[in-house]
A and B are shown apart, each in its own frame.
Chain A
Amino acid sequence: MSDFLSVSGLRLSYGRTEAVKGIDLEVRQGAVVCLIGANGAGKTTTMRGLSGLLKTAAGSIRFCGEDITNAPAHKIARMGIRQVPEGRQVFAEMTVDENLSLGGLQVGDSADFRRRREAVLDRFPRLRERLTQHAGYLSGGEQQMLALGRALMGGPKLLLLDEPSMGLAPLFVEEIFKIVADLRQDGTTILLVEQNAQAALEIADHAYVLESGRITLEGPAAEVVNDPRVIAAYLGDH
Chain B
Amino acid sequence: MLAQQLVNGLVLGATYALFALGLTLMFGVLRVINLTYGFYFSVGALVALWLARSVGLPIWAVVLLGGVAAGLVAVVVDGVLLTRLRRTKAGELPSLMVTLGAVLALYSLSAIWLGTEIQRFPFDFVDSSAFEIGDLRISLVQILIVCVTFALVGLLFVLLHYTRVGLMIRALAENEDTARLMGINVDAIVIVVSFVSGLLGGVGGVLIGLNFNAIQPFMGETMMLRGFAVIIIGGLGDIRGALIAGVLLGMFEVLTASYISSSAKEAVAFGALVLTLWFRPTGLFGRKEVKRA
A and B pair up: yes
- In the complex, how many residues of chain A place their beta carbon closer than 8 angstroms to a beta carbon of chain B? 34
* Per-residue interface assignment for chain B, residues 158 to 200, with 1 indicating a CB less than 8 Å from any chain A CB and 0 otherwise: 0000001001101100110111111111100000000000000
The segment from B99-107, B137-145, B264-272, B285-293 found at the interface with A is: B285-293
Q: How far is the CA of A136 from the CA of B185 in the complex (A)?
A: 24
A137 to B185, CA, bound (A): 28
Asked whether B183 lies within 8 Å of A78 as measured between CB atoms, the reply is yes
Write out the residue numbers on chain B whose beta carbons fall within 8 Å of the beta carbon of A139.
293
- CB-based contact B184/A85 at 8 Å: no
* A53 contacts the other chain (CB 8 A): yes
Interface residues of A in 68-86 (CB under 8 A from B): 72-74, 77-78, 82-83, 85
Contact partner of B293 among A78, A102, A143, CB < 8 A?
A143
Residues facing A in B144-162 (CB within 8 A) are: none
How many residues in B have their beta carbons less than 8 Å from beta carbons of A?
Answer: 21
A74 & B178 in contact (Cβ 8 Å cutoff): no
- Which residues of A from 33 to 64 have beta carbons under 8 Å from B? 51-53
Q: Which residues of chain B from 236 to 290 have any CB-CB distance to chain A below 8 Å in the complex? A: 290
**Contact A105 B177, CB 8 Å, known A94-B170, A134-B290:** no
Contact with B along A197-221 (1 / 0, CB 8 A): 0000000000000000000000000
B292 touches A102 (CB 8 A): no
Q: Are A108 and B164 in contact (CB under 8 A)?
A: yes
Which of the residues B184, B290, B293 comes within 8 Å of A74, measured between beta carbons? B184
Binding site for A on B (CB under 8 A): 164, 167-168, 170-171, 174-175, 177-186, 290-293
Residues of A within 8 A of B (CB): 51-53, 72-74, 77-78, 82-83, 85, 88-94, 98, 101-103, 105-106, 108, 134, 136-140, 143, 150, 154
